[in-house]
Structure formats: structure tokens, C-alpha cells
């Protein structure tokens, strides 16, 4: 049986996998350094868990802020084409995948656990200073409830 935390992280990965199908060659929840991924296996996206924070208010169930960072690696075939061109297209796909629905939520398909998920914070990128490879780090926040006994 999967834990509620695992369900939330797996739902994020599933949502992104569906949204990026055909646009990304390699996806995993096991982080690899960009230098360990062949340019022929790019674009690649890796999801890493980063933090879990309990937010408790008196008389209310504990909410959990689950952090993840997405690592996007892209490569261009030559030094003329900027890698940011491909990167920006994929960043837009990720942004669209995590866009809120018509009532302002993104529950990743598991509304019993996930209250919302979104990109939150600064997206960091080297914009191709690694030559024909570019790296972006995308922070994602999942707000969840009902994860444990403190609810």
C-alpha cells in the first residue's frame, strides 16, 4: 500500500509524464547529474523530493508542504542554436501541466490528498553556459492534507 506522501509525489510525476510525453526523452524520479546524462538522452527531466513542512493551526488539520525540484536538461545539436529555445518550450509545458483548474486548484488527480500543486519560487537556469547543454531547476510545492495521525 502506498503512503499518502508517496501518492502525492507519484501523482506529480505521473501528471508531468503525461504532459511531456513526446517532448522529453528521459524521465525519472531518481536524480542524475547533467554530466551523467548523454546529450542523446536529452531532453531529460528528473524529479527530486526536497522538503516536507508541517503547517499546524489550532483546531484545523495539519497541512503539509511537500517540496520537489524538477531538473530539466536539454541539449542542442550545434553551438549556433541556443539550448534555451528548447528549454523554454518544455518549461511552458510544465507550467501548463500544473496550471489550476477552473476552480483555482491543481490536485494532480488526487483531491483526497493534494489541495494544490504549483511551481513556486525562482526557476534557475544556466541558459546554455555549459555550451550546447542547458540546465533548469524548477521548484514545485504540493500542499497536502490527511497525511498522518496529526490530523
Give the pLDDT score at 102. Answer: 74
User: Is 95 domain-assigned?
Assistant: yes
The percent of the chain in helix, strand and coil, each rounded to the nearest 5, is 25, 30, 40
Please say if the pLDDT value at position 1 is more than 60. Answer: no
Q: Pick the closest to residue 11 from 137, 72, 139, 97 (CA basis).
A: 97
Print the domain residue range for 96: 4-145
User: Is 33 domain-assigned?
Assistant: yes
pLDDT tens sequence across 39-77: 999 999 999 999 999 998 898 888 999 999 999 999 988
Residue 17 maps to which CATH number?
3.30.70.1700
Count up the domains in the chain and report the number.
1
Please say if the pLDDT value at position 146 is more than 80. Answer: no
Amino acid at each position: 500500500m502506498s503512503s499518502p506522501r508517496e501518492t502525492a509525489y507519484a501523482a506529480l510525476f505521473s501528471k508531468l509524464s503525461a504532459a511531456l510525453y513526446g517532448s522529453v526523452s528521459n524521465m525519472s524520479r531518481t536524480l542524475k547529474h547533467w554530466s551523467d546524462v548523454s546529450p542523446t538522452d536529452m531532453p531529460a527531466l528528473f524529479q527530486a523530493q526536497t522538503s516536507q513542512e508541517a503547517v499546524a493551526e489550532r483546531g484545523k488539520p495539519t497541512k503539509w508542504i511537500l517540496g520537489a525540484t524538477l531538473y530539466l536538461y536539454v541539449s542542442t545539436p550545434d553551438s549556433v542554436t541556443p539550448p534555451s529555445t528548447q528549454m523554454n518550450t518544455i518549461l511552458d509545458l510544465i507550467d501548463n501541466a500544473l496550471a489550476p483548474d477552473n476552480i483555482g486548484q491543481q490536485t494532480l488527480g488526487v483531491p483526497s490528498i493534494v489541495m494544490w500543486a504549483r511551481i513556486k519560487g525562482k526557476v534557475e537556469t544556466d541558459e546554455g553556459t555549459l555550451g550546447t547543454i542547458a540546465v533548469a531547476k524548477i521548484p514545485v510545492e504540493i500542499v497536502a492534507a490527511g497525511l498522518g495521525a496529526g490530523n
